[in-house]
Structure 1
């Protein structure tokens, strides 16, 4: 019986590996990347898991999305004697609060953390290590927000939950030993998108204290130009391949993947909006140093009214915060933006930084020269999994927090 199981899993592994070898082109990791082999291994492990998820769904063992969520949740860390950790509800939103046990004079800063996962993956458990790290190393109270996930809870439920949790915490901060004037929102990847959208939603809330800062870690910010230099240069760089990025975004909004090709050609943006957005979203605003690895200007393609109707939610500032009006951008709090050289979303961060700079918002920018999408998340798992860039990113974030 044991031999049969071993044969079954061996055949399954070969099947999945072969399927993914042909479905996904070979990863392209630029020369000079110091941990090249480690990233290759990590890339193929991820591809294997995506393939296994598809296989399990086809044979009826488990849905693809639930398998990948389980994998991302990982193995929870041991109990931490240095922290008070408690699960609560902020209105109807699940949260987990982390608070240092060590006593302190006065009130602490508070951090609301919105996890990544394109609105479909990720959880409080998946980001347990990250939130513990920030709590202990910055002596802060951290609130990890377990917002609802798509497709069970369609967009914009994720944004609504993050906003609800933030407002609740701002109104009750003192109950947790937090100074209401020192509340920071933070998120990585799509969590960074949510953080930016929440910050924008709060600018006109006069009945609440102002946010002290926002921390945006390799965020997605716009769906107007999906062919910026970073998209071209890093389209096959692990772990967030361009095709995978666009496919996950469409699934998040429950849009059929058949429109993927047209989306790449920007057929979803009418000419009047192109004229409006070009003052905010343009490769002309990307410094030349970020075009050195290659960039070819895009060819304009005919507008599709049908595609625009489908993709309209993508042009809402809640989904694409870079498209917010100047009157909103001008009121945003101090900002920390982290970008990675080998990330398709790099230029989104650069463009948002420019908008903030143009409006006099104080920005601390951390660019990880060997960074790739997800590197900060991996850093919290320790030496075996972490990359140098992620470790550097964590240190830079903590240094910023200590000044708040």
Structure 2
């Protein structure tokens, strides 16, 4: 009917239904600088804080879509939860979302006394694209001596690289809802450049020069994926012929603030204790597994929880009308247990 764009309709659908206030949790909307946020305060005086960056492929979701998760974490862990409403693509391309999450985190760390939070108990958390943003923010703040050090990072089925979309999990789960292989590339390109030109070339690996692929092979390689995750099927993929003109348009793909898996060891070594949740039936599973290995290889303590029956987005469906999934709640409860144990 041409009343609005298809993107607007999809965003409305992805926002879901807003549950309203939860018993025992007081919430309020605010702004940290120019970034809109929503605060969730549990009963009592919270000593810990969790900054949550929502998922949605950098183009969907927002403060409303993750309200149930924020309420649950605040109530069950006794932490102050701050949900960040960063700008969305394609209207606001990379690095807009990253910059909003970073600026909100900086503002919060600089005004902790206002929130009554212990400076030693601040954690960043994100799911999917939000996990990407949480990892990027955590890396940026690593080694900063002028701010309180982050206590931990929580990465829920994060997307962490855009070099290889033919890893085992991308092959095995290419047609598994809620995130198809092609959509993973679609979202990355929308965030990065505001359109999906070159989608096929990126899918087939023609966007990365051979020397750069070789440089990052030590970190992004099926060889680093445990064999038990290949039993459902995997064929070594030979990238298509390199296309320099495509690389010129996407060469910032290798920036760690977009692909945290590509950060140098000197940065990885300074990261805080980490929690990584992966799902078996998820194209992003191997991104999480590869980052887990990188963190462990560099001496960073990692708590890993793998949902054998999980798929992408399942934690968001832990309590979503008739679409509730027990394994989603199981994953969220492990996140809460990790926070309480910090």
Bin the TM-score by the shorter chain: over 0.9
Structure 1 length-normalised TM:
0.82
Query: Contact 2:18–2:67 at 8 Å: present in 1 too?
Result: yes
Instruction: Find the counterpart in structure 1 of residue 10 from structure 2.
Output: 68
**CA 1:108–1:349 in 2, change beyond 3 Å: closer, same or farther?**
same
Query: Contact 2:166–2:237 at 8 Å: present in 1 too?
Result: yes
Q: Could you say what secondary structure the match of 1:207 adopts? A: coil
Query: Contact 1:133–1:380 at 8 Å: present in 2 too?
Result: no
Q: Could you say what secondary structure the match of 1:371 adopts? A: strand
| Separation in 2, partners of 1:345, 1:83 | 32
1:93 to 29, 35, 43: 35
Instruction: Find the counterpart in structure 1 of residue 338 from structure 2.
Output: 400
Instruction: Find the counterpart in structure 1 of residue 44 from structure 2.
Output: 103
| Separation in 2, partners of 1:126, 1:251 | 20
Question: Following TM superposition, by how much is the alpha carbon of 1:201 offset from its aligned partner in structure 2, in angstroms?
Answer: 0.4
* Larger displacement relative to structure 2 (326-335 or 270-279): 270-279
Query: Contact 2:58–2:187 at 8 Å: present in 1 too?
Result: no
The CA deviation string for residues 43-66 of structure 1, in whole angstroms up to 9 with x for no partner, is: xxxxxxxxxxxxxxxx41211111
Question: Following TM superposition, by how much is the alpha carbon of 1:79 offset from its aligned partner in structure 2, in angstroms?
Answer: 2.6
Instruction: Find the counterpart in structure 2 of residue 29 from structure 1.
Output: none
| Separation in 2, partners of 1:62, 1:401 | 41
Q: Could you say what secondary structure the match of 1:246 adopts? A: helix
Higher gyration radius (CA): 1
Query: Contact 1:250–1:257 at 8 Å: present in 2 too?
Result: yes
Instruction: Find the counterpart in structure 1 of residue 294 from structure 2.
Output: 355
Instruction: Find the counterpart in structure 2 of residue 377 from structure 1.
Output: 316
Please say if 1:227 is aligned against 2:166.
Answer: yes
The CA deviation string for residues 45-95 of structure 1, in whole angstroms up to 9 with x for no partner, is: xxxxxxxxxxxxxx4121111111111222221333412211111111111
1:172 to 111, 114, 124: 111
Q: Could you say what secondary structure the match of 1:357 adopts? A: helix
| Separation in 2, partners of 1:345, 1:80 | 31
For these two proteins, the number of residue pairs brought into alignment is 342
Query: Contact 2:168–2:222 at 8 Å: present in 1 too?
Result: yes
Question: Following TM superposition, by how much is the alpha carbon of 1:281 offset from its aligned partner in structure 2, in angstroms?
Answer: 0.5
5+ residue gaps, structure 2, are: none
Question: Following TM superposition, by how much is the alpha carbon of 1:261 offset from its aligned partner in structure 2, in angstroms?
Answer: 1.6
Please say if 1:125 is aligned against 2:64.
Answer: yes
| Separation in 2, partners of 1:371, 1:200 | 27
Query: Contact 2:91–2:194 at 8 Å: present in 1 too?
Result: no
Instruction: Find the counterpart in structure 2 of residue 40 from structure 1.
Output: none
**CA 1:167–1:388 in 2, change beyond 3 Å: closer, same or farther?**
same
Please say if 1:237 is aligned against 2:176.
Answer: yes
The CA deviation string for residues 177-224 of structure 1, in whole angstroms up to 9 with x for no partner, is: 211110000000000000000000001321001000000000001111
Structure 2 length-normalised TM:
0.97
| Separation in 1, partners of 2:101, 2:120 | 19
| Separation in 2, partners of 1:396, 1:155 | 31
